Amino acid sequence: MFQFADRIRALPPYLFADVDRRKTKAVARGVDVIDLGVGDPVEPTPSHVVRRLCEAAQDPANHRYPSYIGSLDFREAVARWYKRKAKVELNPKTQVLTLIGAKEGLAHLPWAFVNPGEPVLVPDPGYPVYRNATIMVGGIPFPVPLVEGRGFLPDLSAIPKHVARRAKLWFLNFPSNPTGAVATLDFFEEVVEFARTYGLIAVQDAAYSEITYDGFVHPSFLEAPGALEVGIEIHSLSKTYNMTGWRLGWAAGNEEVLEGLGKVKTNVDSGAFQAVQFAGIAALDGPQEPVKRQRTIYQERRDIVVEGLRDMGLKVFPPKAGCYVWCRVPEGYTSEEFVGKLIEEAGVVTTPGLGFGEGGEGYFRVSLTVPTGRLREAVERMKDLKF
């Protein structure tokens, strides 16, 4: 009876639908399904952050409409975080913008800068929001391949010049979801030069930058000389502080880019709940031991998964960061076929690589955000498979 708008019909098919269907059928059969498909931390938010929320929620001043761009207190905490982490100086009034989670900022950014028919550079494989947000505004997602032979880093020289000249945005994501690839400061310097040459906005999604292993420290894009001239970094408290449901993050960097994003936000949302922002300050300024503990937990789980997949004879790519493991499917299977086999025969849900773009075909993703005991069980079930 009712028709969706063209922008909705232009979205790619939901490639995880078959996974959901198989999972539902397995549960209906009484299978004890272990879901390694979703990256939602099972560990709770640090207690001092929860306490601060409770205190702030009791204050009637926080019950009213918040600032569209976020409280200055929270933005100042973000600026302090960058100074400690990366020795980057930011003006919290003009170079930091509060988001209702990183996803919100990523999805709204094309509305500020992309006209219908204009290309946007998106990683392939990559987080689907980059592609889908581009389609929603009538832009054209141009896939930038992340290939195994390059450690899943893009080859900037392979991006056609005529596309780069017309592109408005370039979405980057390091540490990468889904591949786990990490970037170096030298690479970010190349990104700055590329963006400056072609006049496009670089957008680094750094949601996983604090989940790192083996002593590795991931650089901030804003550390690269000239980064503030050409782009922004978007970050979230979701994975760093186990605050996925709290919906709080930020965009930091170029003032003009943030102004454009802020104009969109003033028209479509009313800002993040102020009590949550006070909790965010407690997370950023408070003790960081919970972050260190979470890294240790994920590192143990990473090692369990990597060892198990190798024992199965699969080609796995041990990540230096992030909460996922990226792996090749066995020969003779598509990514959807193998993920379906895992559900049907092992009761284990993973994510087919094709869901992240054509470049993800032939791979699958395992999430580390389930209890360690359940993860061990899932790996043992997978190892019993015949293929």
CB 36 within 8 A of CB 375: yes
Q: Read off the pLDDT of residues 43-85 as tens digits, 9 standing for 90 and up.
A: 999 999 999 999 999 999 999 999 989 999 999 999 999 999 9
Residue-averaged pLDDT of the chain: 96
Question: What's the CA gap between 82 and 43, in Å, rounded?
Answer: 25
Cis-peptide, bond into residue 175, ω within 30° of zero: yes
- What pLDDT score was predicted for residue 12? 86
DSSP string, 308-366: HHHHTT--EE--SBSSEEEEEPPTT--HHHHHHHHHHHH-EE-EEGGGG-GGGTTEEEE
- What pLDDT score was predicted for residue 23? 87
Query: Could you tell me the pLDDT band of residue 387, with boundaries at 50, 70 and 90?
Result: confident
Domain ranges of the chain: 6-44+290-383, 47-285
Question: What's the CA gap between 355 and 217, in Å, rounded?
Answer: 29
- What pLDDT score was predicted for residue 86? 96
Return the CATH number of the domain spanning residue range 6-44+290-383: 3.90.1150.10
CB 234 within 8 A of CB 204: yes
Share of the chain above pLDDT 70, in %: 100
pTM over 0.85: yes
Question: What's the CA gap between 46 and 26, in Å, rounded?
Answer: 34
47-285, which class in CATH?
alpha beta
CB 286 within 8 A of CB 90: no
Nearest 5°: CA angle at 14, between 9 and 16?
175
Per-residue pLDDT for 108 more than 90? yes
